[in-house]
Structure 1
Amino acid sequence: PSFADVLPLARLITNDYLAGTYATIDLVHPSFVSTLVQRPRVARLLPIQASHTAEAGIPGNQFIFEPDAASVLESLLPRYVATRIYQAVLEVTASEQSSRMVAMKNATENAQELIEDLTLTYNKVRQTNITREMIEIATGASAS
């Protein structure tokens, strides 16, 4: 998937949120941790929550926005939403590919075990047939 693929969805979500259709937007997706571990994640997409440092009122977090904070937020909001959705899509894709890889590895191991079992069964049947034929030949030779 590309970033351009999520732009229509991000635009729709942003427009509906700004129009007041939705009070909150949550993003639910699997979070890719490792090949064997994916955890479900619920993340608040909108409204944007203030960071903990901003709430603490740490000096140095005082910024001057030009033209104003609302205009800056309005211009950055669509990109923020698209980026967060794209991140979720990438994690979903990584989780899916990882699950496929693990499933294929397990299928390969199971097929290998099945091949070994069938080979053993085939060899036992073959050996039984050869032994039976040798007994028949020996019995036929001693009978004559």
Structure 2
Amino acid sequence: MAQIREIKQRMVAVGTIQRITKTMQMIATAKFTAAVQRTKATQPYTEKIRELVAAVCSDPSELDHPLVGGDRAASGRELMLVIGSDRGFCGAFNSNVLRKSLRFQREKVKSGTKVTIETSGKKASNFFKFANVPVAEAHAIGDKPDFDEVAAIADRFMDLFVAGEVDAVHVAYMRFESNSRQIPEIQQLLPLEAPTGDDAGAESSMYEFTPDEASLLNDLLPRAVRTSLFQSFNDAVVSEQIMRMIAMKAATDNAAGLGRTLKRDYNRARQAKITTELTEIVSGAAALA
């Protein structure tokens, strides 16, 4: 009787967990759909900005802009923004990005470069705290990135870079390629790199700049940095939601499988109990006959 009661309690617990994970899967699916729509809405603008930057920067030898870097005194300091999530239950989303960023930071330190860490997401902040790596600033962007808020962060990064306080700015995030492929990546946000090689001037003949390229650079390059950072946040949100959706579906399926196993165990235990009781009744009747 105790075994049957225990199995029944486990069945109830597994059923509760299955309902919770199913609900979380549905929420993640809805958030993923919304995040993909937001990302697709900004993609044409992002791609056009990159195309224009490639065109304007077609001749690196004549390019002179503080966001590109060029010849400047090295400070021995760099900055990295690590984008994680506020919540868990999203598979390897956080662990892949955070481990990669920690390795990057330690390699830089070994080479004599100090890397200042900034984070977005509680999981990222807690990870670096546990690793005894100071976090200079923790941002709270959430799962609906606001362009103005992200642009303010990008503007501060540009100010630090132009002032010579950091030699480079990197962003560690989960890049979304497809529903089945998300890649942890560390992208160099600053300095902007001019295209090189045979494709460097491929686009320049398609444009005529008025009044000149330099004037356009002062407006275009900061926009490119802001847009690139915003795209990184959007990619991270999409990747987080699809990985949570996959993780919760796997948990729901596992709970369903465990529930079926417990149901079989329950039926067998109940059948054994009934058989034992019938045997005792028959034995008792035979003894009285």
TM-score range, shorter chain: 0.7 to 0.9
Q: Is the CA contact 1:6–1:86 (under 8 Å) kept in the aligned structure 2?
A: yes
Q: Is the CA contact 1:54–1:61 (under 8 Å) kept in the aligned structure 2?
A: no
Distance 1:112 1:134, change over 3 A: same
2-structure distance, mates of 1:59, 1:84 = 21
2-structure distance, mates of 1:134, 1:59 = 91
Deviation at 1:79, TM superposition (A): 1.9
> Which of residues 50, 61, 81 is equivalent to 2:225?
81
2-structure distance, mates of 1:17, 1:78 = 12
Residue 275 (structure 2) aligns with: 131
Are 1:14 and 2:124 counterparts? no
May I ask how many residue pairs the two structures share in their alignment?
143
Residue 200 (structure 2) aligns with: 55
SS at match of 1:30: strand
Q: Is the CA contact 1:32–1:95 (under 8 Å) kept in the aligned structure 2?
A: yes
1:1-144 alignment runs, 5 A limit: 1-52=145-196, 55-56=200-201, 60=205, 63-66=208-211, 68-144=212-288
TM-score normalised over the length of structure 1: 0.85
Deviation at 1:58, TM superposition (A): 7.1
Residue 62 (structure 2) aligns with: none
| Structure possessing the higher radius of gyration over alpha carbons | 1
The higher-RCO structure (CA 8 Å, 6+ apart) is 2
Deviation at 1:111, TM superposition (A): 0.4
List runs of 5+ in structure 1 lacking aligned partners: none
Question: Which has the higher mean CA deviation after the structures are superposed, 56-65 or 27-36?
Answer: 56-65
Counterpart amino acid of residue 163 in structure 2: A
1-structure distance, mates of 2:206, 2:195 = 11
TM-score normalised over the length of structure 2: 0.45
Aligned CA-pair RMSD: 2.2
1-structure distance, mates of 2:242, 2:170 = 25
Counterpart amino acid of residue 168 in structure 2: T
2-structure distance, mates of 1:82, 1:61 = 25
List runs of 5+ in structure 2 lacking aligned partners: 1-144
1-structure distance, mates of 2:228, 2:185 = 13
